[in-house]
Amino acid sequence: MLSIKENETLAVIDRGSPMGDYIRRFWMPFLLSSDIPDADGEPVNITLMGETLLAFRNTSGKVGLIQRNCAHRWASLFYGRNEENGIRCSYHGWKYDISGQCVDMPTEDEASNFNEKVKIVSYPVVERGGALWAYMGPPEFKQEFPEFEFFNVPESHQFISWNRQECNYAQAIEGGIDSAHSNFLHASLDAYWRTDSWLAQGKRSGNLRDMYHARDQHPKFFAEDTDYGVATGSRRETGEDNHYWRYNLFLLPFYTMPPSGPQQKFFHAFVPISNGVTARWSFVWTLDNPIPRSDRQLWGRGYGIHSEVHPGSDHTPIRNEANHYLIDREMQKNVNFTGIAVLADEDYSVQEGMGVLTPRQNEHLGTTDVGIIKSRRRMLREANDLREGKEPYAAGNGSVFHVRAGDVLLEKNADWLQDAKVKKVMTATW
């Protein structure tokens, strides 16, 4: 468990806080490109890292991310005119470009250069992989962009979604790190009961997870620090002369990469909107074939790791805590472990059910929590190192994200981490 002080240090992301300053050293996604499609179109109000901001696509097609309020009398620029490569305030006509520079003050004397002295908060934006990414740290420490494999496959092989979670980012991350819950939270009743029919299905598929995951509901867990974050390995007995290993990766500062199939990979980003609200991003990519249209349609309506959201909303899920995720108790008795229809919403039910901020001082952690414990300590240590002037290595070295998560069979005397690397279970190549 963490002390109350440690818990607050881990969870608070306001500017000037240890974790707030640390996370701002990394590029972070904040909108889909499709959330703001049109040049000179409607701007979008967003909150990111507790800051109220405005995103807009200018006449040239570039996206700006600036403070939401005009420097003159603090009117909201959301109501302004998006025209001629800038946002013009609807109150007195002051106009700002995507760098935050005031470029026109029609209310001032024509000879005045006052506008040159006025600049509002702005953050650099990169558009990549169908998403918009911002860097909110000190300009002099602007870091490398993360080199995920996702960015190096064709657009036809990519799919992205995001939605709001009503909880602190840290407990959302820990849901992604936790590999033990899949035997329960995401299990069909067949898998939970480990029936002969379910095990036979695994034999037919030949997929390692189908074959071995449900055989051992008491996996042993191991965790190690890495240059990108923390690797957690779960070891399951197979009843044979080997072990079944699954690798779940935590990548600094807010990414989780659960093990997935041999051809389809994914990772999550849990980006703080505020201290009590998180944007959960899901990035899916395929290695060989394009993602089928049928899958895109299914995921767009909410399936698997993707949640269905209200049309035209701020990406708020349709199934949420207010309606108890539309839990069906008959389904829970007869079909799956939770009675909740979609995997993503099962995650929200436990992560949001902890409250806005988990009272970690009240926890009773077990042997399956070694990855969570090590990840918490790593985050706190990284934030403390930054306070002492040591810049985060992962933020400045995008190549550390050349990783995948997966599973493998290893001999019983194998080194769980090094031998998996030799077999390239966790290596992304392009």
Residue 213 has pLDDT above 90, yes or no: no
- For residue 26, which of 428, 391, 277, 427 has the smallest C-alpha distance? 391
Burial of 34 (0-12, 13-18, 19+ CB in 10 A): exposed
pLDDT at 167: 96
The answer to whether residues 338 and 349 touch, using CB atoms and an 8 Å cutoff, is: yes
Of residues 213 and 156, which shows the higher confidence score?
156
Dump pLDDT digits (tens) for 93-120.
Answer: 999 999 999 999 999 998 899 999 999 9
pLDDT at 203: 61
Q: Which DSSP symbol is given to 108?
A: S
| pLDDT, averaged across the chain | 92
DSSP, collapsed to helix, strand or coil, labels residue 279 as: strand
Among 148-162, 231-245, 265-279, the least confident range: 231-245
Residue 364 has pLDDT above 70, yes or no: yes
pLDDT at 86: 98
| % of the chain with per-residue pLDDT over 70 | 95
pLDDT at 199: 61
Burial of 147 (0-12, 13-18, 19+ CB in 10 A): middle
Mean per-residue pLDDT, 316-324 = 94
Bridge partners for 256 per DSSP: 250, 268
Structure tokens at 31: 């909108």
Residue 329's pLDDT band (cuts 50, 70, 90): very high
Dump pLDDT digits (tens) for 71-98.
Answer: 999 999 999 999 999 999 999 999 999 9
pLDDT at 311: 83
pLDDT at 162: 96
Mean per-residue pLDDT, 31-53 = 97
Mean per-residue pLDDT, 144-162 = 96
pLDDT at 50: 97
Among 38-42, 130-134, 172-176, the least confident range: 172-176
- For residue 396, which of 152, 138, 170 has the smallest C-alpha distance? 138
Burial of 404 (0-12, 13-18, 19+ CB in 10 A): buried
User: How crowded is the C-beta side of 164, counted as CA atoms within 13 Å?
Assistant: 21
Q: Which residues of 362-384 are buried (b: 16+ CB within 10 A; e: fewer)?
A: eeeeeebbbbbebbbebbbebbe
Pick the CATH number of 27-141 from 3.90.180.10, 3.40.50.1370, 3.40.50.10300, 2.102.10.10: 2.102.10.10
- For residue 255, which of 267, 273, 272 has the smallest C-alpha distance? 267
Strands (E), 167-228: 220-225
Dump pLDDT digits (tens) for 373-403.
Answer: 999 999 999 999 999 999 999 999 999 999 9
The alpha carbons of the chain give a radius of gyration, in whole angstroms, of 23
The answer to whether residues 52 and 45 touch, using CB atoms and an 8 Å cutoff, is: yes
Dump pLDDT digits (tens) for 264-317.
Answer: 999 999 999 999 999 999 999 999 999 999 999 999 999 999 999 988 778 999
* Ordered strands of the 51-57 beta sheet: 44-48, 51-57, 63-67, 122-123
Amino acid at 109: D
Residue 188's pLDDT band (cuts 50, 70, 90): confident
Structure tokens at 184: 């329960």
Amino acid at 71: A
Residue 189's pLDDT band (cuts 50, 70, 90): confident
The reply to whether 149-422 shares the fold of 27-141 is no
**In the block, which residue shows the tokens 């911002």?**
134
- Report how far apart, in Å, the C-alpha atoms of 422 and of each of 207, 242, 372 are: 21, 17, 25
Mean per-residue pLDDT, 343-348 = 92
* Residue-range domain boundaries for the chain: 27-141, 149-422
Residue 187's pLDDT band (cuts 50, 70, 90): confident
Structure tokens at 279: 């944007």
Tell me which CATH homologous superfamily contains domain 149-422.
Naphthalene 1,2-dioxygenase Alpha Subunit; Chain A, domain 1 (3.90.380.10)
**In the block, which residue shows the tokens 């979604």?**
161
CA distance 35 to 133: 13
CA distance 80 to 94: 9
- Give, for 146, the enclosing helix (H) or strand (E): none
pLDDT at 138: 96
Residue 204 has pLDDT above 80, yes or no: no
Strands (E), 252-327: 255-257, 264-274, 277-286
Task: Find how far residue 399's CA is from the centre of its chain.
Answer: 18
Dump pLDDT digits (tens) for 333-342.
Answer: 999 989 999 9
Asked if residue 359 has a cis previous peptide bond (ω within 30° of 0), the answer is: no
